[in-house]
Chains A and B, each alone.
Chain A
Amino acid sequence: MIGLPLVYLIAGAMFAAFAGLSLGDRANRKRFGNAAFWGLVAVSFLLGDHLGDLGNGLLVLALALLAGTGQLGVGAPDTTSPDERQDLARRLGLRLFLPALVIPVVTLVGTFVLKAATLHGQPLVEAKNATLIALALAAILAALLAQMMFRQPPVAALQEGRRLMDLVGWAALLPQMLAALGAVFAAAGVGKTIGDLAVAWTPVDSRFAVVAAYCLGMAGFTILMGNAFAAFPVMTAGIALPLVIGRFGGDPAVVCAIGMLSGFCGTLLTPLAANFNLVPAALLQLKDRYGVIRAQAPTAVLLLIVNMVLMYALAFRA
């Protein structure tokens, strides 16, 4: 059965290639730092299951130290000039969009096909990871197709991948680091402590007050923990079940659905949701690390107010 190990092998190979190509990039003053950083990521993907918990922990420390002491530069692989790109864009025309469409289409079709596929009566892939496997497949197919259709040199895809990876830099690892932090926080009981505080501060005397406390609590907890999924069980057990639903008779489906969406408003506001908020800022080369959060903050705040009004209006219809 094909599962995550194969995808990790592919990712490990890609990061190993990034590390090797970084090492040979004399234009980058910090090439050893880049090679070490992407090399460690490759080690994590290829050997992570054999390193042991302490080994993996030390690997993470090394990654953080490399990033924190400014050892990462931006590589300068040979690429096309803006003028060449302009010419290529005119010459290749709409065909350029074809490989770009391969990624979503193959991911989509692949997810359904892989989930249903069997080999000797056994499922071909792990159903819960079908989307990730399809995405990996789609990414490779799109890169190969683009290289063949537009006759690019063989290392072009990896060199161009490295160019983009260096632009993102350490931010590429931040979502995974934050997910790991979430696990440590959970083990230390951080979420429960914050939940207890929120519950202690909740006014219990009016319907609107408990609705507002639940929505604000979901958003606030999400801002502190970076993840609405972590906030939901704590806030719902603390405020929604006993008060909004228990005492005032709110409809659980309405309360929980809108409560979760209030948490999403918090996700739009926090740098801890790095893959949504900080990584795009790096990908788009914004000068302000928090530029994306600034752009979505008014939407998030207005929607949080809307959510409180909607919950108040819709949850107590009976």
Chain B
Amino acid sequence: MLTLLGVAVIVLGFALRFNPLLVVVAAALTAGLAAGLSPVEVIEAFGKAFNTNRYVTIAWLVLPAVGVLERCGLQERARLTIQALKGASAGRILLAYLLLRQLTAALGLTSVAGQAQTVRPLVAPMAEAAAETAGPVADADRERIRAMSAATDNVGLFFGEDIFMAIGSILLIVGFLDQSGITVEPLHLSVWAIPTAIAAFIVHGARLLLFDRRLAPTTEARP
């Protein structure tokens, strides 16, 4: 039970907005010490796990490409493209992206889009530009549009990828059930991910269309 102190450190640390890297190290030390490890053993265990998980940080390799394109005006180009579209709104742009992200993830193409590759250079500027076609956008709304762009990428990814049979989570379920003596076909699992995927499109899609209405009065109120 004492090991739960590690979780308490995480929850409190994040709630009080300490630096998350320090919070994580403190939580690891707390949980490890509570489990009876010596401080050196905890640091060793943490270092070993840090080293084996380096692949997580590989995603940043796309930054030079994204950066040099931004230098050449990619965000501005994305804005211009949207300004030429009639009837574009932040919600509708994000709705189209949600559909695209869900469909590609359902085909297993999870790494064709993402926060660094598509949301920052393309989707968020497009959504902002679409909102600007209705009038000037307040700073607080700009923040909300960006946050909603990132949120839409996550929702599309999470509730699309499980329709693909060979995705990690499906394989985890198959393996786990197999160990418990239950045989399930990956296809059956991915089929039963479809109802939630449709619900996610309806729920988040409806929120995106309502999002436009929430943006509208503030933009119209400004000259």
Q: Interface of chain A, helix or strand or loop or mixed?
A: helix
B222 near A: Cβ within 8 Å? Answer: no
Beta-carbon contact of B111 and A107 below 8 Å: yes
Which 3 A-B pairs give the minimum distances between C-beta atoms? A160-B67, A57-B47, A56-B47
Binding site for B on A (CB under 8 A): 4, 7-8, 10-11, 14, 41, 44-45, 48-49, 51-61, 63-65, 67-68, 79-80, 82, 84-90, 92-94, 96-97, 99-100, 102-104, 107-108, 129, 131-132, 135-136, 138-140, 142-143, 146-147, 150, 152, 156-165, 168, 170-185, 187-190, 193-194, 224, 228-229, 232-233, 236-237, 241, 245, 252-254, 256-258, 260-261, 264, 267-268, 271-272, 274-281, 283-289, 291-292, 294-296, 298-299, 302-303, 306-307, 310, 314
| Interface Cβ pair total, 8 Å cutoff | 422
Across-interface contacts of A63 in B (CB, < 8 A): 21
In the complex, the chain B residue whose C-beta lies closest to that of A184 is B28
Q: B141-184, CB under 8 A of A: which get 1 and which 0?
A: 00110111111011100110010000011001100110010101
- Return the CB mask of B60-83 against A: 1 if under 8 Å, else 0: 111111111111111111011100
B73:A88 contact, CB within 8 angstroms? yes
Residues of B within 8 A of A65 (CB): 22
Given contacts A232-B176, A274-B20, contact A157 B68 (CB under 8 A): yes
Residues of B within 8 A of A86 (CB): 73, 76
Tell me whether B180 and A189 are in contact (CB under 8 A).
Answer: no
B25 CB, min distance to chain A CBs, angstroms: 5
The answer to whether B14 and A272 have CB atoms under 8 Å apart is yes
- Which of B58, B116, B117, B203 is in CB contact (< 8 Å) with A299? B203
Q: Across the interface, do A314 and B72 meet the contact criterion of CB distance under 8 Å?
A: no
